[in-house]
């Protein structure tokens, strides 16, 4: 989704979805970008053309959770407003079925939020 960065791309992608978003996550990276993967919600079968990996000098890093201290440090960034989730759409709770359809269709980019 390079339109979010005016075509530049991103330095780091933290990828936890797996197969469904793997290719798009890689394509978002700038030269020498880094993809950190920490989950496989939609499947574990991720493929990559190795020429793309070394040609763009990308780094892949697998990560399995972390320590509580690391979570608390990351939370400081979030609560300080330095990290913001990408919200695709917000729906009232009464439209939860429509929100779920959006998730299933994979049309959006970012979180789908239900307001209670």
In tens, the pLDDT along 33-79 reads 999 999 898 999 999 999 999 999 999 999 887 788 988 998 899 89
Structure tokens at 68: 């509580």
Rounded to whole angstroms, the Cα distance separating 43 from 57 reads 25
- Stated pTM of the model: 0.59
Structure tokens at 96: 């939860």
Domain boundaries, the chain: 2-83, 85-116
Q: What is the pLDDT of residues 11-27, one digit of tens each?
A: 999 998 999 999 999 99
Asked if pLDDT for residue 1 goes beyond 70, the answer is: no
Rounded to whole angstroms, the Cα distance separating 65 from 48 reads 23
Q: Which residue would you say has higher pLDDT here, 90 or 2?
A: 90
Class of domain 2-83: alpha beta
């Amino acid at each position: 989704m390079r339109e979010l960065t005016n075509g530049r791309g991103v330095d780091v992608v933290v990828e936890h979805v797996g197969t469904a978003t793997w290719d798009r996550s890689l394509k978002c990276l700038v030269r020498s970008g880094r993809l950190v993967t920490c989950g496989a919600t939609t499947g574990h079968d991720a493929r990559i053309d190795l020429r793309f990996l070394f040609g763009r000098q990308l780094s892949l890093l697998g990560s399995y959770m972390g320590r509580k201290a690391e979570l608390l440090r990351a939370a400081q960034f979030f609560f300080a407003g330095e990290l913001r989730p990408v919200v695709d759409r917000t729906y009232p709770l009464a439209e939860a079925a429509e929100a779920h359809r959006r998730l299933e269709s994979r049309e959006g980019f970012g979180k789908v939020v239900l307001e209670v």
